[in-house]
Structure formats: C-alpha cells, structure tokens
Amino acid sequence: MLSSKLPIASLILLYLTAVGCQTTPTNFPFDFELKDISEEQQALTDYRDKVVIVDIWGTWCPPCIAEIPHFIELQDKYGDRGLQILGINYEDADSWEEQQQIIANFVEKKGINYPCMPGTEEVQNQIPGFSGFPTTLFIDKTGNVREVIVGVNSFDELEAKVKKLLAES
C-alpha cells in the first residue's frame, strides 16, 4: 500500500518545489564570509540593520533564473530603504576562478545589481533540510533568519515579505 503512494508523494514534492513551497517561519544560525565575483569579501554580519535576502541559486537552474528579475526590481525599489540582496551561487566548476567567471558573465548579461558570489558546502549545510534551488532566506535587521522559501515566488509574494520585514523597528 505504501509503495503505491510513493509516486504521488514524489509528484507533490516536485510540484511544490517547482511552484514555490513556503516553509514555516524559522530561526537558525546562518552566517558566512565569502569572496564575491569582484573579489570583495562579503560577510552577512556587514549587513546588520538591513533586511537581507540571500538567494541560493545557480546559472543552470531555470526557476532560479526566473526569479532574478524580481530580485533586481526589489533591490532597485527598496535598496535605499534598507534592503540588501545577496546571491550565493552553486556552479558545476572545478575551481573558484571558473565559478567566478561563469557567475560574472551571467551577472553582466542579466544586469544583476547586487553582489553575487560562489557558495561553499559549509554555507549550504547551515540551512536545515536544504532541498533545492532556488532557496531564498529572509533575514531581519538583527540577523535572524525569519523565513526560508524553496522554489519560485512571484514578485508580489517576495515584495510583501520585504515590506513586512522593513516595517519592523
């Protein structure tokens, strides 16, 4: 009986990942210091007192690519109000330099207006139950992870979360 339900469960999980599956608000330790594609150090702690979206993505991932215009627009619209978006990329490359080049070419082509950097396994392992790309972390002004979303979300859904976090004192 259980084996006949496994294909249905797999399809439901695939659907939720593809269209966006919101997890319950969460709070877990998350921090990183990585070199971005301009070879500048980016540390999450540098963005205290800002709302931060960390986008875990790859240039090879169609759902990730679909969200990028939303993040560009959010950075344009709310960057001067205390929002900072950071892209942490996972690429199939043999070296940091190769990853850097893949990401830099993509950033230039798409006009990405926020820092992007190659990720590490250590960073990815900080996300409990990491299950796929894209994964979006919403971090409040005190550095707490408030929500994790796996999959694609609309601009309106993302903007509502940003507005809520920016409104908090």
Domain ranges of the chain: 2-167
Q: How confident is the model at residue 9 (pLDDT cuts 50, 70, 90)?
A: very low
Burial readout 138-157 (b: 16 or more C-beta within 10 A, e: otherwise): bbbbebebbbbbbbbbeeee
Q: In this structure, which topology does domain 2-167 adopt according to CATH?
A: Glutaredoxin (3.40.30)
* Tokens matching residue 136: 């979006």
Alpha helices in the chain (DSSP H): 2-19, 62-78, 96-110, 121-124, 155-167
By the 10 Å C-beta count (0-12 exposed, 13-18 middle, 19+ buried), 53 is classed as buried
Distance (Å, whole) CA 40 – CA 7: 46
Q: What is the mean pLDDT of residues 77-106?
A: 96
| Whole-structure pTM value | 0.84
pLDDT, tens only, 105-116: 999 999 999 999
Count CB neighbours of 101 within 10 A. Answer: 14
